[in-house]
Amino acid sequence: GIVGDIPILNKDSNQIKSVVYTGTLYKKFGIMNLIEAFSKIEDQNVVLKIAGNGDASSLIKEYAKRDNRIIYLGQLSNADAIRLQLEATVLVNPRPNDEAYTKYSFPFKTMEYLVSGNPVISFKLDGIPNEYDDVLIYFQENSIESIKAKLCEVLNLTDKERYLIGQRARNFIIDNKTPAAVGMKIYNLLNDNNKD
């Protein structure tokens, strides 16, 4: 699986910061809003790295031609996608909360992102339990301006602030959501119930 001894990469604070999305590139998943918002960021020391395939791929390639900070990597192996997530400054899931299925949808990607130890920005989907509110950073609203503002806010944090946010999220997943942690909870629950 994705959880284990993941190396914490030393991120040199002068290096270029990267916003990363890995996954399905469907327009309905909000990827174009992310790209539009990123395009409006003026900082030249920030890149947007996108990996995956879908109906937005050709449009993303067009944006990448116009803005050399947008890097389209195509479909990556799982190992390369995870490496990209580990090296990111911030991970983004731009899927908006505007379709019926999001009520029941908890993107596995969110778990995968949180384990990276980097800050994760997403929309508060109806399917995301409130216990994640302390470890996810939420876009306020589904607009280009709002997405841009939240990206800038997180990119402008200090390295240490971002590190602490990422570690809190990673520890939350490892302590609560790995198979071993879930198994332990069930075991304790059954034991507690048998004491009566």
Distance, C-alpha 149 to centroid of its chain: 16
What stretch of H or E contains 21?
strand 17-22
pTM: 0.84
pLDDT at residue number 4: 39
pLDDT digits (tens, 9 = 90+) for 12-24: 445 799 999 999 9
Long-range CB contact pairs, 142-148, < 8 A, 24+: 142/30, 142/33, 142/96, 142/97, 142/98, 143/33, 144/33, 144/36, 144/37, 144/40, 145/37, 147/33, 147/34, 147/37, 147/94, 148/37, 148/38, 148/40, 148/41
pLDDT tens track for 118-134:
999 999 988 889 999 99
pLDDT-derived band of residue 6, with 50, 70 and 90 as boundaries?
Answer: very low
Q: Phi, psi at residue 122, to the nearest 5°?
A: -150, 175
The CA distance from 91 to 82, in Å, is: 11
CB atoms within 10 A of CB 36: 14
pLDDT tens by residue, 48-106: 999 999 999 999 999 999 999 999 999 999 999 999 999 999 999 999 888 766 666 67
